Structure 1
């Protein structure tokens, strides 16, 4: 069963939750073969009922100790543009669609999404363009995100500090 996992992290992004569960967005997901939608709604006010999105099976939760299982089971991840959520999804090697909250002032999220998009690691949009993005996205253009190499950094620090 093809699954989409949507996460807003520990924050609230009700507009994303409302948009992804709309009839049009759910229909676009269904047209792409997705049958299950799992929402992590964080601190938001919206908590959609399981039957509120009849086009796809819907599961909703606020928080879990870890969302690693949801990420692992997902065929597509839709995330707010928080760096931690983006890096966790990319590190798992999953296709990622980032939804930037354009209502935030001094929004650094757009810069992160643009840079990772330019490097072909993710797709991004806003809530107002989410449904159209779901209809037209081409996940085959995405390139794997190579995780950092902490050993190289540790070796560098060892050399600089004279430990090695």
Structure 2
């Protein structure tokens, strides 16, 4: 791993987002020493957690002692800057968070919230994982996913062409075709 010009390790941020929901199980899991040690072992230096409506507050750390620096916040008007600055994103399975991260070309671990009823989000995450665009985990498997991930094996996501769908909708609604 390269060193920054000041002789310090380059800043490598893991950004965790739960969106507007409460997903304490994910926040609790990334706050475990086991997960933080694995992230540090893999060269990450900072952990920034967007915890949403959750009631579990992670342990903040400045990282001065060589440990992972940890900070958190509840909400932000836009997480786009956090996503852009991240070296790795760990996200809930919301489609907005998934596709915004993939569009930026950031490595992504999606953690499925098994407490949600009728969890169609897990289907999306599992399909994209099968296509090698991201890793999919459950809170209890997050550590193993981080330990076993090979970010070089992930494939870039290219959004499909929506033109045929738009034409079909226009035809259905009775609009003239171009």
Alignment TM-score > 0.5, same fold: yes
Q: Does structure 1 residue 129 correspond to structure 2 residue 129?
A: no
| Equivalent position SS for 1:5 | strand
Higher mean displacement: 109-118 or 11-20: 109-118
Distance in 1 (CA, whole Å) between partners of 2:34 and 2:132 is 26
Q: Does structure 1 residue 41 correspond to structure 2 residue 55?
A: no
Contact 2:31 2:59 in 1 (8 A): no
Of residues 103, 106, 110, the one that matches 1:98 is 110
Contact 2:62 2:69 in 1 (8 A): no
- Aligned structure 1 segments of 4 or more residues deviating by more than 6 angstroms: none
Distance in 2 (CA, whole Å) between partners of 1:31 and 1:71 is 22
Q: Does structure 1 residue 50 correspond to structure 2 residue 60?
A: yes
Q: Does structure 1 residue 62 correspond to structure 2 residue 74?
A: yes
Distance in 2 (CA, whole Å) between partners of 1:28 and 1:18 is 15
CA deviation profile, 1:61-110 (whole Å, cap 9, x unmatched): 11111000000000110001111111111111111100111222322122
| Equivalent position SS for 2:76 | coil
Structure 1 residues not aligned, in runs of 5+: none
Distance in 2 (CA, whole Å) between partners of 1:135 and 1:117 is 16
CA deviation profile, 1:92-142 (whole Å, cap 9, x unmatched): 111110011122232212211111111111101101111111111111111
Query: In angstroms, what is the RMSD of aligned CA positions?
Result: 2.1
1:148 CA drift (Å): 4.0
| Equivalent position SS for 2:97 | helix
Q: Which residue of 1 aligns with 2:28?
A: 18
Structure showing greater Rg? 2
| Equivalent position SS for 2:118 | coil
Q: TM-score w.r.t. structure 1 length? A: 0.90
1:32 CA drift (Å): 0.3
CA distance 1:5–1:115, change in 2 (3 Å): same
Q: TM-score w.r.t. structure 2 length? A: 0.83
Q: Which residue of 1 aligns with 2:6?
A: none
Aligned pair count?
A: 163
1:120-159 matches, within 5 Å, as: 120-150=132-162, 152=163, 156=167
